[in-house]
Amino acid sequence: MSHTGRTMGSAIRITNGRVYDPANGVDGCVQDLCIQDAKVVAEVPADARKIDATGMVVMPGGVDIHCHIAGPKVNLARKLQPEDKRLDVVPSTPYTRSGSGGIIPSTFATGYRYAAMGYTTAMEAAVTPIGARHVLEELHDTPIIDKGFYVLLGNNVFLYRLLKEGRREEFREAVAWWVNATKAYTVKLVNPGSDELWKGRRNANISDLNENIDQFDLTPLDVIRAFIETVNDLGLPHPAHIHCNNLGHSGNATTTLDTMRAAEGRRVHIAHVQFHSYGGEPGKNPTSRGPEIADYINSHPNITADVGQVMFGKATAMTADAPLAHLLKGVSGNKWVNADTENESGCGIVPFTYQEKVYVHALQWAIGLELFLLSKDPWRILLSTDHPNGGSFTMYPKLIRLLMDREFRNDEIRKVNQRAIRKTILGDDLAREYTLSEIAIISRAGPARALGLKDKGHLGVGADADITIYEDDPDREKMFSTPRYVLKDGKLIIADHEFRADHEGRILHATPAYDPDIEKAIRPFFEDYYSIRFDNYAVSDRYLHNHQVIPGQIIPAVQPQ
Amino acid sequence: MKLAFHHRPEVPIEAEVITPEKLAGLSEAEVSALPLQYGNERVPLGEFFRVSGRYEGEILVEGDLSRVKMIGSGMSAGRIVVDGDAGMHLGVGMSGGEIVVKGNAGDWVAPDLSGGRITIHGNAGHLVGSAYRGSAMGIRGGEILIHGNAGNEAGNAMRRGLIAIGGDCGDFGGVNMCAGTLIVLGRLGARCGASMKRGSIVSMQPAPLLPTFGYACRYEPLYLRLYLLHLKRLGMSVGEAHIEGPYRRYSGDAIETNRGEILLLDA
């Protein structure tokens, strides 16, 4: 493990805080926390600096398992919306650099805004291999938080060829090579199979997992199975991270269930599952199948998911799912971008506004809440807005209030399209209110566990000293928007709600072992089909700066409960 | 109140503070101490302006202010008279009151205008009453009167309000227009009304039209007569023939809704 350039803090004792550390079974106990340098320790010397947290809530720093914060597509979305940045200027302070906000903040502002909300880790969820260098450069400029990214391999032409020819061993080696070559954290699949069709034929897409992907003699199901198996075999810290087929289409819950079944007990993460929980006929208005999806996830412990909650207001659809972007462009009538990424992926960006009175938008909002409220295991149904697709990450505090405050939730439910509400269970005045401990799970401990980050998401001895201290407030939105103190790697970044220091977070990545001979198979394909030479493709170590290799874990398949 | 500009800056100044709301009730010394953005520095207003009198409904700004940006920013009432040229972003975000410029104005006159009136006796630069880059909508109300010529993209994406240009207008006049009225007493440049959805573009001279504008009819629109009489009362050189018409109406832009119009005087 290389902890190069880790900033050393000093000894700190956080006294009398109410500590929520669900990974260690601590549920609101008043106790002290000791920090030495960048780690939580058992005890510190008596002269250690004290932070009085009396009456305050202490949690591990937030961990975002799925967001889009860096790289070519994010930058394109920034450039596409100058009008959004103009009204949200972020001035510099003695400790922080200037930038711009809006729905997609500049790199520096992204780091600061996560930190200002008490989040200390965030994972960029979709990076084309060829864009990895750019992503690493932007992540280097995203301060304070630790970060990593998932590399898009689910529409990769070379990997499809290996699968088509039944060369599974080489497929495995090639996947491992690609994770290493891009410095990725795990593998991401987006709408597997469809990008090749989309690029090849007018308005083509995949709507069934058993459909043939042109010219490859493969079905999306073959691709999904192969990746789930391979990523588990490689023992990456986080399993295959899947954006299922048919995102946003009515009736897509069937595809989502098929995808989850394909795991056959192996670990898999289903991204922004709200967008994949719709009933109804394709081409017609969707209905909710949220309860069915929640049930399936509840009873299959091999599956983790993040919700991808829709929040009303401005958002930006930003995805490797190019045909989806085309569909959304028709809905929004707004400016948009669609792009092709060589042999690897597609890309689409559409600025979008979710409106309370619009049936579909209200339904999406309600399905997200259904998934949260029906979840029996908060460790596996995790908080996200798929920033900026469902809304900005800065909406998390409001989302937390919706989950914790039944009265507030019912008020909000009354404001939205009632026809949509009637299609869900939200009209039943659900009694469930998330506890602080459950919030700590869905926003910190759960994502950290799903990511295989053993030093994050908890406050036990040896944990990273990424800690957030909130002033307890019955208005949970206000409470979670403005932590009183934020520590990153034991360094006091925010005190009394204001920045007191800057910090360079780490790149988190995985390095699965592979046979170097695989390069001999990949090289000729590059020389024939890529715009860039093979020798210039792999990202060199100097792009890593501050980084940490996260060790893998092999977890055997499990049976449903 | 008089603000006399006494020396020319090396780089442009941003003078958001020169607006009735910010100067009302302040003494000369207090006004002199207000901050201006000068390059990457903040300097007191007194460094560039000699202040005399208190605000009593009008701010008179004297001198060559072509390098002074954002005069009248966000004003909602009162009056500013610029005796000389004004710089970019004059009257940005203005919602009421009046600005009169006796000389020329720079680019970006009154972006985000929603009310009030701006009169420029000389020429104006590009993007008069235009939407900021990326925005779907430009000005949402108010009047901009330019006695001289205007540059390109006047009225870009305007949503409501009136822009009148006494002289000629550059290329792309009324581009992306959503609604509102752009009246040009001189000539329109190339590609006027490109991508307009609704709204009216009027000119007293023949104009090169895009092929997506189709001839509709020849008539004497009543509303235009009212608009032109209004402009005449405000001192613009509107002739009898302009008021009488008739006008040839072209509808477009056919690549959008085809519900906009370009009216050309049929002399």
Distance in angstroms between the alpha carbons of the first and the last residue of chain A: 36
Interface mutation target, options A76, A79, A81, A83, chain B, most CBs of B under 10 Å: A83
Give the residue from A306, A270, A310 showing the smallest Cα distance to A288.
A310
Residue-wise pLDDT for B55-66, tens only, equals: 999 999 999 999
Confidence of residue A3 (pLDDT cuts 50, 70, 90): very low
- What's the count of helices (H) and strands (E) in chain B, helices before strands? 4, 17
The reply to whether B27 touches chain A by the CB within 8 Å rule is no
Mean pLDDT to the nearest integer, A314-329: 88
Q: Report strand pairing: A186-190 vs A146-152.
A: parallel
Q: How many degrees, rounded to 5, is the angle at CA A110 between CA A474 and CA A491? A: 75
The reply to whether B135 touches chain A by the CB within 8 Å rule is yes
Residue with tokens 């925005």: B135
Confidence of residue A7 (pLDDT cuts 50, 70, 90): very low
What distance lies between CA A394 and its chain's CA centroid?
14
Residues of chain B positioned with their CB less than 8 A from the CB of A82: 132-134
Instruction: Identify the three-state secondary structure at position A407.
Output: helix
- At A237, phi and psi to the nearest 5? -60, -30
What distance lies between CA A326 and its chain's CA centroid?
23
- At A539, phi and psi to the nearest 5? -85, 130
Confidence of residue A1 (pLDDT cuts 50, 70, 90): very low
Asked if residue B183 lies in contact with residue B202, where contact means CB atoms within 8 angstroms, the answer is yes
The pLDDT score that the predictor gives to residue B111 is 93
When mean pLDDT is compared across A104-108, A212-216, A353-357, A460-464, the lowest value belongs to A212-216
Q: Percentage of chain A surpassing pLDDT 70?
A: 98
Interface mutation target, options B132, B159, B197, B256, chain A, most CBs of A under 10 Å: B132
Residue A8 has pLDDT above 70, yes or no: no
Asked if residue A506 lies in contact with residue A512, where contact means CB atoms within 8 angstroms, the answer is no
The pLDDT score that the predictor gives to residue A557 is 84
- A319: tokens are 């995805």
The reply to whether B52 touches chain A by the CB within 8 Å rule is no
Question: Taking all residues of chain A, what is their mean pLDDT, rounded to a whole number?
Answer: 94
Cα–Cα distance, A116 to A516 (Å, whole number) = 43
Confidence of residue A553 (pLDDT cuts 50, 70, 90): confident
The pLDDT score that the predictor gives to residue A324 is 86
Nearest Cα residue in chain A from B256: A333
Cβ-defined contact of B132 to A84 (cutoff 8 Å): no
Q: Can the peptide bond before residue A466 be classed as cis, meaning omega within 30 degrees of 0?
A: no
The reply to whether B132 touches chain A by the CB within 8 Å rule is yes
The pLDDT score that the predictor gives to residue A6 is 41
Asked if residue A493 lies in contact with residue A115, where contact means CB atoms within 8 angstroms, the answer is yes
Per-residue pLDDT tens digits of chain B, which is 267 residues long: 999 999 889 999 999 999 999 999 999 999 999 999 999 999 999 999 999 999 999 999 999 999 999 999 999 999 999 999 999 999 999 999 999 999 999 999 999 999 999 999 999 999 999 999 989 899 999 999 999 999 999 999 999 999 999 999 999 999 999 999 999 999 999 999 999 999 999 999 999 999 999 999 999 999 999 999 999 999 999 999 999 989 999 999 999 989 999 999 997
Confidence of residue A452 (pLDDT cuts 50, 70, 90): very high
Residues of chain A positioned with their CB less than 8 A from the CB of B134: 80-84, 86
- B254: tokens are 């056919």
Neighbours of B118 (CB within 10 A): 28
Nearest Cα residue in chain A from B137: A83
The reply to whether B134 touches chain A by the CB within 8 Å rule is yes
In sequence order, which residues have a C-beta less than 8 Å from that of residue B222 and are 6 or more positions away?
none
Residues of chain B positioned with their CB less than 8 A from the CB of A86: 132, 134
- A333: tokens are 């009538």
Residue A457 has pLDDT above 50, yes or no: yes
Cα–Cα distance, A313 to A274 (Å, whole number) = 17
Distance in angstroms between the alpha carbons of the first and the last residue of chain B: 47
b/e burial code for range B126-152 (CB count within 10 A of at least 16 → b): bbbbbbbeebebbbbbbbbbbbbbbbb
Cα–Cα distance, A125 to A185 (Å, whole number) = 10
A308/chain B closest Cα distance in angstroms: 27
Nearest Cα residue in chain B from A77: B134
Domains of chain A: 59-499 (3.20.20)
Helix boundaries (H) for B17-121: 20-23, 28-33
Q: How many residues does chain B have?
A: 267
Cα–Cα distance, A49 to A33 (Å, whole number) = 12
Residue with tokens 């506890």: A435
Residues of chain A positioned with their CB less than 8 A from the CB of B132: 82-83, 86
ipTM greater than cut 0.90: no
A81/chain B closest Cα distance in angstroms: 6
The pLDDT score that the predictor gives to residue A399 is 98
DSSP secondary structure, B148-191, as one string:
S-B-TTTTTT--EEEEEESS-B-TTTTTT--SSEEEESS---TT
The pLDDT score that the predictor gives to residue B71 is 97
Cβ-defined contact of B132 to A81 (cutoff 8 Å): no
Nearest to B132 among A80, A86, A334 (CB): A86
Give the residue from A417, A422, A412, A305 showing the smallest Cα distance to A361.
A417
Nearest to B132 among A80, A83, A334 (CB): A83
Number of A–B residue contacts, CB under 8 Å: 14
Asked if residue A402 lies in contact with residue A426, where contact means CB atoms within 8 angstroms, the answer is no
Residue with tokens 């024939």: A528
Mean pLDDT to the nearest integer, A372-395: 97
Residue A405 has pLDDT above 70, yes or no: yes
- B5: tokens are 């500009």
Instruction: Determine which helix (DSSP H) or strand (DSSP E) holds A329, and give its type and residue range.
Output: helix A322-332
Q: Can the peptide bond before residue B246 be classed as cis, meaning omega within 30 degrees of 0?
A: yes
Cα–Cα distance, B84 to A7 (Å, whole number) = 57
DSSP secondary structure, A385-404, as one string:
-TTTTSS-GGGHHHHHHHHH
Residues of chain B positioned with their CB less than 8 A from the CB of A84: 134
- B259: tokens are 């519900």
Give the residue from A148, A112, A142, A108 showing the smallest Cα distance to A127.
A148
The reply to whether B211 touches chain A by the CB within 8 Å rule is no
Residue-wise pLDDT for A253-294, tens only, equals: 999 999 999 999 999 999 999 999 999 998 899 999 999 999
What distance lies between CA B200 and its chain's CA centroid?
16
The pLDDT score that the predictor gives to residue A559 is 77
Q: In what order do the strands lie in the sheet with B35-38?
A: B41-44, B35-38, B13-14, B68-69
Residue A188 has pLDDT above 90, yes or no: yes
Residues of chain A positioned with their CB less than 8 A from the CB of B176: none
Q: Report strand pairing: A26-36 vs A39-41.
A: antiparallel
Mean pLDDT to the nearest integer, A467-484: 97
Residue A5 has pLDDT above 50, yes or no: no
Asked if residue A81 lies in contact with residue A43, where contact means CB atoms within 8 angstroms, the answer is no
Cα–Cα distance, A266 to A459 (Å, whole number) = 29
Cβ-defined contact of A80 to B132 (cutoff 8 Å): no
User: Residue A540: how many CA atoms within 13 Å on its side-chain side?
Assistant: 3
Give the DSSP letter of residue A550: P
Nearest Cα residue in chain A from B131: A83
Residues of chain A positioned with their CB less than 8 A from the CB of B135: 83
Nearest Cα residue in chain B from A86: B132
- A499: tokens are 């920045």
The pLDDT score that the predictor gives to residue A215 is 81
